[in-house]
Structure 1
Amino acid sequence: MDKLSLNRYSITEEQSLILTSALKSNPSHLRELNLSWNTLGDSGVKHLCAVLKDSHCKLERLSLSCCDMTDEGCSDVTSALKSNPSHLRELNLSRNTLGDSGVKNLSDLLMNSQFKLEKLELYCCGITDVSSLTQSLTNSKALQFLKELDLSFNKIGDSQQRLRDELRDSNCVLRVDEGRSPNSDKCVVS
């Protein structure tokens, strides 16, 4: 099995422990994991991080969109990926309450030269400041790999222009569409 998609399966924190146990038994073949739109919460995400830390894990795409995660869960994901950074190419943490501290954690991860992320989705995450992200992209090799950055429906205001300026000469597409409302199938982020 190289792809596991369990989005909208109503997986809870408790069930994530069972899922994590199953994934830990043989993580080397899994390349794509989609657990979006489940109520994992920070505890459920923390369980999953045990798989991400495993050196046998070769996950290339991870989607945890709308999983009731906060900056605490984002910190756990970041920490797990720091210990096993080389395979992941796409990360979707959209529609979670990551806030500015969550983005700062991800920014630290981008500084790791082994982390070669190509797509980062942070749509509707309660982010107001991306200066740490901009600084990471400026001071690392991340822009050699990053092709798409979605920060739509965050209120990044003044820090948006500096980020645009930084990405201007790169191959990275920046999405910051704040002009229309998110679709009706949304997860409320406070």
Structure 2
Amino acid sequence: MAANREKERPTPRRKRGFERTSGLLAHRIRKASEKRGFAETRLLTHWAETVGEDVAAIARPVSVSYSKGGFGATLTVLTTGANGPMLQMQEPRLRERINAVYGYAAIARIRFTQTAPTGFAEGQVDFTPERKATPRVPDAACRKEAAALATDVADEALRRALADLGAAILDKTRHT
């Protein structure tokens, strides 16, 4: 009977106030990346910073595999066929930069897997990161209306921030 009561208890509430999304998702991200062998998620999340924009545009990490009883792992990197030999020549430099993320010589070798530019996964391999959309500037009527709504706020910085947020929301609702 006591076991049933424990199952019925709701999960304990956190009493820390607001939390960052990254803190809430860190465990899930780490668990998902560890399934592919990535003990250090920074290698995935900061791939372009780690290897450089030029390499990140033509290659992406796929998995890390560890040999039995051996030291050092093998990082598998996906690239298009024409870029494979070029990346192979850069392997020592890439391995050095990747191991800097781990803090020790975790990666002993890099295996480059080549694929055609079309016909992989959902149709095409696209190594170029998405370009960030330029934010839309709210029109004057939205800004004026939002500023009027925020006039009762005493703090100047907060009033400006709320007016900017309100203008963006009003503009978005009118143009969707």
Same fold (TM over 0.5): no
> What TM-score do the two structures reach when normalised by structure 2?
0.27
TM-score (structure 1 length as normaliser): 0.26
Q: Which has the higher helix share?
A: 2
Instruction: Find the structure with the greater CA-based Rg.
Output: 2
